[in-house]
Structure 1
Amino acid sequence: MELTNLFRQIEFIKEVDKLKYILRKTKLFASDRNENDAEHSWHLSLMAIVLAEHANFPIDVLKVIKMLLIHDLVEIDAGDTFIYDTQKSHDNTVEERQAAKRIFGLLPDHQAAELIALWEEFEEQQTNEAKFARAMDRLEPLLQNTSNNGGTWREFGVGYGDVYAKKQVIQQGSLTIWQYAEQLLNDSVEKGILTK
């Protein structure tokens, strides 16, 4: 039994290495290199540790970190959907649910069930942990785009209204961080790197 579990866990570990090859539209801070999903997940997890004190409610930081480390694993199969894509919804898709079942299903049943439940909790955005995790997921690209003179906003012609609509979910996880983010958006308009 233990050896069987170990083999399954190793297969999962090998499979999720593929996350390093999934490129996002956003670029690294002050860089022209696209970020990959593994870098994104690591960065969000570290942000959660550092910024946890700003959560609206007490949170289980370890649970948030787990969510952030696994939330994009489904993109190994489903690919990354640009948050401002007008053709394909960024919301949870059938492809992502199938990917979650396949990828997490590589693990022993008890671990697969735990990670699928965490992934679904993140997607449903009902718990304090999920709301804070989503706030981190929306904050990082905002910081990247402001460091890159508009970054993907400018590259793909995304305006203030669309950015604001996607970013305001930050306030559900942290009003303090939302106030900071909203100021960044307004400053970006003033600097001309985000069109109103």
Structure 2
Amino acid sequence: MDNTTTNTSNILEFLHICEKLKKTKRTGWICHDIKNPESISDHMHRMSILSLLIKDSSLNRDKCVKMAVVHDLAEALVGDITPFEGISKAEKNRREFEAMRQMCTNLLENSPQSQEIFALWQEYEDNSTNEAKFVKDIDKFEMIIQAYEYEQSENKDLEQFFESTKGKFNHPEVKCWVEELYSKRKVYKQQQQMKRNQIN
């Protein structure tokens, strides 16, 4: 009985930590002065939806969805670290690994469920499987969808996000999505330029 109580208490504590993902805004949008930017949870949720849409039968779709759900879990403790903060990739990886170890091994007592969470996170970080490579692709794709939406709602030029991901998509289906987004954005930019020309 005591063990069950302790375990339940730890699960609740873990869920309270996860709440930080709902409150922590994505750093890239904050740096570009986006009003009410998306949270880390917002980003992971749409990635999960994208994983459900994949048609490629060679991929384990359930694993992709799970991986999308947990891939940024460490950020609940370490925050959304970006390259612009002067923190090396090695240090970022160290902090995130320690955060996952703390949550999965210590807090969740290395249970079978927490082992699965950690294994999914590590697989994503290692980019070692086709599922991990796909989820890496949709991580970038979800970001540029959001950038395009913010360009429309905030009247900003967020070209930096498109340039940083250009040529870095690998999965054929994701590439098709990217090309469709590029086409829509090109039309939008042309329309905006026409409006500016009319005003001038």
TM-score range (shorter-chain normalised) is: 0.7 to 0.9
Change (3 A) 1:89 1:137: farther
Aligned residue pair count: 180
TM value normalised by structure 2? 0.74
Structure 1 spans left out of the alignment, 5+ residues: none
Task: Supply the AA of the counterpart residue of 1:44.
Answer: M
- Relative distance call for 1:59 and 1:163 in structure 2 (3 A) is closer
Q: Which of the pair has the greater relative contact order for Cα pairs under 8 Å at 6+ separation?
A: 1
1:11 shift after superposition:
2.2
1:80 and 2:76 correspond: no
The percent of aligned pairs where both chains have the same amino acid is 25
Match of 1:7 in 2: 9
Q: From 136, 139, 155, give the equivalent of 1:137.
A: 139
| Counterpart secondary structure, 1:144 | helix
**Which protein is richer in strand relative to its size?**
1
TM-score, scaled relative to structure 1: 0.75
Q: Secondary structure at the match of 2:101?
A: helix
User: How far is 1:72 from its partner?
Assistant: 0.9
Correspondence list, 1:99-178, <5 A: 99-105=99-105, 106-110=107-111, 111-149=113-151, 154=157, 158=160, 161-164=163-166, 168=168, 170-171=169-170, 174-178=171-175
Q: Kindly tell me: are residues 159 and 69 of structure 1, through their superposed partners in 2, closer, same or farther at Cα, counting changes over 3 Å?
A: closer
Q: Tell me the residue number matched to 2:195.
A: none
Greater Cα offset, 6-15 or 68-77: 6-15
Q: Which has the higher helix share?
A: 2
1:64 counterpart residue number:
64
Match of 1:47 among 26, 50, 56: 50
Report the CA distance between 1:123 and its aligned residue.
0.8
> Tell me, which stretches of 5 or more residues in structure 2 are unaligned?
193-200
